[in-house]
Structure 1
Amino acid sequence: MNWTGFALNVVLCAVAAVVYFGVIMAVAIRIGNQSIIDIFWGPGFVLMAAVSYLASIGSGDDLGRLVVLALTAVWGLRLGVYIGNRNRGHGEDKRYTALMRHQTGSKVGFLIRKIYGLQGVLLVIVSIPVQLAMYEDGAFGVFGRIGVAVWAIGFLFEAVGDAQLAAFKKDPANEGRIMDRGLWAWTRHPNYFGDATVWFGLWLMALGHPAGLVTVFSPVVMTLLLLRFSGKALLEKGMRRRRGAAYEEYAARTSGFFPLPPRRKAA
């Protein structure tokens, strides 16, 4: 294990994240739409993986490095394209509009504290297993293969769930209705469950060295973000406010996160 190379890699990824989010912030200020950062969240991890892959040339297992890069890229780029298509033509997300009403002091300083700096730190922290995996000398073994399988399950849940929801919303007959079909009948958030599962899969790929165990904080942090902060909690609060009893009935018969058979009757 090349610990010096890995330590330098973390620094390089931090610098890359500063430049990356700095450019995004400059563009967002210019067009007056801070929510474009959501589009670049997934691709940001692709950047972390690409920087790590290039910096680790001559270190680690070539097959493992390539697999981790490829799977991170597939996940991150798909997410970016999906969110970009979903948000196109809708202007700034109301969450960011509400946040900007509380601006104090310098606009740039406020944005760094509340949005871009925070996301930059999270990007580097959550991507640590991907970075570490690039420097592990052991062959891409059992844990790596299990990780690929877990990643695939998560990716399918996320991609299929997003596709089902997009098709549902596109049909005018579903106006005002709650999506409760397909994967959405088994979990209220197949996309968030899939996202978390993808990161547990990437973490498993970092277990080629015992140090990989410590990086379990990465998928845990991602899961907490999805459950407690920017994901499930915020979305469900809005759905309960807008849809009331209809959403409560859906929530009563459908698992909140982990996929489970739908209940026959609301609790």
Structure 2
Amino acid sequence: MLIDVLIMLGLALAFAAVEMTLTWGVARRLRNYSIVDAVWSLGFAPIAVMYLIGRKYQPEQGILFVLMVAFWSLRLGVHLARRIASHHPHEDVRYAKLRTDWGSNADRKMFWFFQLQGALQVVLSLPFLFACSRSTDSKIPLESDWFAIGGCALWLTGLLGESLADRQLARFRADPANKGKVCQTGLWNYSRHPNYFFEWVVWVGYAVFALGSPWGWLGLIAPALMLHFLLNVTGIPMTEELSLKSKGDAYRAYQRTTSAFVPWFKKS
């Protein structure tokens, strides 16, 4: 089992390295490194398929799991690709800032930054590997597999919530009258980052699904890492910094009254 896991992780790392090298080449040519966000999201689907094909057995749980990953990956990837295309040739402010900070070394450093993204992709795919490693010897039908049912329910909740949050924000931004204003409609009235929260719920769903595998507990690394990045690294901190610069006091008032992550009632 351990050797099989290491082999599959090695193949996934090789795929991610090639994927990110090609993405870096295209991004460098376009002078828009933002495209890595869309490619990163889309890349999870082939990794999940690779894990399923590489296992000796293909139980219905594994097939269902891969379909879940593929649907989520395609939705998020296409959503990000459309957003990036609508702003091209303008680069996302995060990557524009890195380009400025790194100066003449930007292309070289961005190459390794992309490779780091690929490595993170593989680490986050751990629940995929274990969910696809469940053999038919377990003899647990899907309808009686509570880990699979619970994981699927969480995944669906997260997917629907994230899709709704994305749609509500896009509709708000599309109205010229809302320029410079803070979106507080729908889910955004209860959380400053409902899209991030429901994205995390999706990953919790993946981890719960994988718990049906003997090594599935290792998949809990994925939602833990995702939570760390959302709360402390590239998610909320960077988004809040940019929002404060563009919206000023209006966003400060929003911060005082609205939960940062978990949707909750307004503070008085």
TM-score (norm 2): 0.92
For 2:249, the equivalent position in structure 1 comes to: 245
Cα deviation, 1:157-209, whole Å, max 9, x if unaligned, reads 11100000001111122222110010001111111001111001001111112
Counterparts of 1:111 and 1:170 in 2: how far apart (Å)? 32
Kept in 2, the 8 Å contact 1:188–1:251? The answer is yes
Unaligned stretches of 5+ in structure 1? none
**Cα pair distance change 1:101/1:175, threshold 3 Å:** closer
Counterparts of 2:171 and 2:100 in 1: how far apart (Å)? 34
Cα deviation, 1:73-93, whole Å, max 9, x if unaligned, reads 111111111111112232211
Counterparts of 2:10 and 2:258 in 1: how far apart (Å)? 43
SS of the equivalent of 1:177 reads coil
2:167 aligned with 1:169: no
Shift of 1:101: 2.6
For 2:35, the equivalent position in structure 1 comes to: 36
Shift of 1:151: 0.7
For 1:65, the equivalent position in structure 2 comes to: 62
2:68 aligned with 1:82: no
Identity %: 32
Counterparts of 1:104 and 1:52 in 2: how far apart (Å)? 39
2:110 aligned with 1:111: yes
Kept in 2, the 8 Å contact 1:17–1:123? The answer is yes
Instruction: Summarize the alignment of residues 226-241 of structure 1 with structure 2, pairs less than 5 Å apart.
Output: 226-241=230-245
Unaligned stretches of 5+ in structure 2? none
Cα deviation, 1:18-72, whole Å, max 9, x if unaligned, reads 111111111111111111101112111112112112212x32x521111111111
Code of the residue aligned with 2:222 in structure 1: it is S
Kept in 2, the 8 Å contact 1:65–1:133? The answer is yes
Q: How well do the aligned residues superpose, as a CA RMSD in angstroms? A: 1.6
**Cα pair distance change 1:3/1:136, threshold 3 Å:** farther
For 1:221, the equivalent position in structure 2 comes to: 225
2:144 aligned with 1:150: no
Shift of 1:136: 1.7
Code of the residue aligned with 1:231 in structure 2: it is G
For 2:259, the equivalent position in structure 1 comes to: 255
Aligned counterpart for 2:127 among listed residues 107, 126, 129: 129
Shift of 1:108: 5.2
Code of the residue aligned with 1:229 in structure 2: it is V
Cα deviation, 1:94-118, whole Å, max 9, x if unaligned, reads 22122123337866542233x2111
SS of the equivalent of 1:259 reads coil
For 1:11, the equivalent position in structure 2 comes to: 10
**Matched length:** 260
For 2:23, the equivalent position in structure 1 comes to: 24
Counterparts of 1:102 and 1:232 in 2: how far apart (Å)? 21
Counterparts of 1:107 and 1:190 in 2: how far apart (Å)? 32
TM-score (norm 1): 0.92
Code of the residue aligned with 1:168 in structure 2: it is F
Deviates more, 1:137-146 or 1:33-42: 137-146
Instruction: Summarize the alignment of residues 196-215 of structure 1 with structure 2, pairs less than 5 Å apart.
Output: 196-215=200-219
Deviates more, 1:158-167 or 1:254-263: 254-263
**Cα pair distance change 1:241/1:104, threshold 3 Å:** closer
Counterparts of 1:105 and 1:87 in 2: how far apart (Å)? 24
**Cα pair distance change 1:163/1:34, threshold 3 Å:** same
Counterparts of 1:4 and 1:36 in 2: how far apart (Å)? 34
Counterparts of 1:99 and 1:82 in 2: how far apart (Å)? 23
For 1:53, the equivalent position in structure 2 comes to: 52
